[in-house]
Amino acid sequence: MIEIDPKTRRMTIRDGERVETFTLEDPRAFEVLSSLWMRSAWETKYLYTFTWFGRPIIQLPDDMFRVQEVLYAQRPDVVIETGVAHGGSLVFYASIFEAMGSGRVIGVDIEIRPHNRKAIEEHPLFSRIELIEGNAIAESVVADVRNRLRPNDRVIVFLDSNHSYDHVLAELEAYAPLVSVGSYIVATDGIMKDLVGSPRSQSDWGTNNPFQAAQTFLASHPEFVLAEPSRTFDESDGANVNVTQWPGSWLKRVH
């Protein structure tokens, strides 16, 4: 049980006989409140309220701010993303590349609905976007993506399609070889493991999720490590908790 007294600005957590109390200024309070907020955000579909340059982007703004930090710092040549939906993420990456003056985006989806394809193809930033329709783990699709890369391209990959354990693990195996040393493959939406019992969740999400797939992949791929991107700016008072839908998702290629 969690109790919050706004008058005294204190939080109390009761778990059986264990009782912890701390002020709302304590970074531990921020961690607890962030976790509760993330669960509520899922239950209220908060992520379904944003657009980027006119296209719906079903992502947490905090995650996308971290993404732009990585893209600006690493300046990859290519972003590969599985899962297109409305195209908001593709346009997001393309807008950053446009601002930096280089870079392109490859989006893969098993079905790109005609109205979404039309909107993406008519978008002012479409010149930086390539679309591939097909199952992201099909050999022909992976080969198509690979063939679009130039020999010296610096590549980062975001996996945001089917979030089942088996599919994400297969995507990791298929796309990890395309990731440049020092760059990332990101198995998004690992928060599923924390949402069991919430509306729109499934009873098997405790194990059937991207986080578990990433853990399995790491166990047999020493060339990758779990490494959240370093903050490029931090004047917080110890608030080192990432508010994210992607816990345990950033896998960095180290050799």
Say what the pLDDT of residue 53 is: 98
- pLDDT, one tens digit per residue, over 147-166 is 999 999 999 999 999 999 99
Beta-strand pair 18-23/250-253: unpaired
CATH architecture for the domain at 52-253: 3-Layer(aba) Sandwich (3.40)
Q: Given a cut of 90, is residue 117 above it in pLDDT?
A: yes
Domain spans in the chain, listed from the N-terminal domain onward: 1-44, 52-253
Radius of gyration of the chain (CA): 19
Mean pLDDT on 229-243: 85
Mean pLDDT on 116-140: 98
Say what the pLDDT of residue 17 is: 87
- pLDDT, one tens digit per residue, over 51-91 is 999 999 999 999 999 999 999 999 999 999 999 999 999 99
Give the confidence band of 175 by pLDDT, cuts at 50, 70, 90: very high
Percent of the chain residues topping a pLDDT of 70:
99
Neighbours of 65 (CB within 10 A): 9
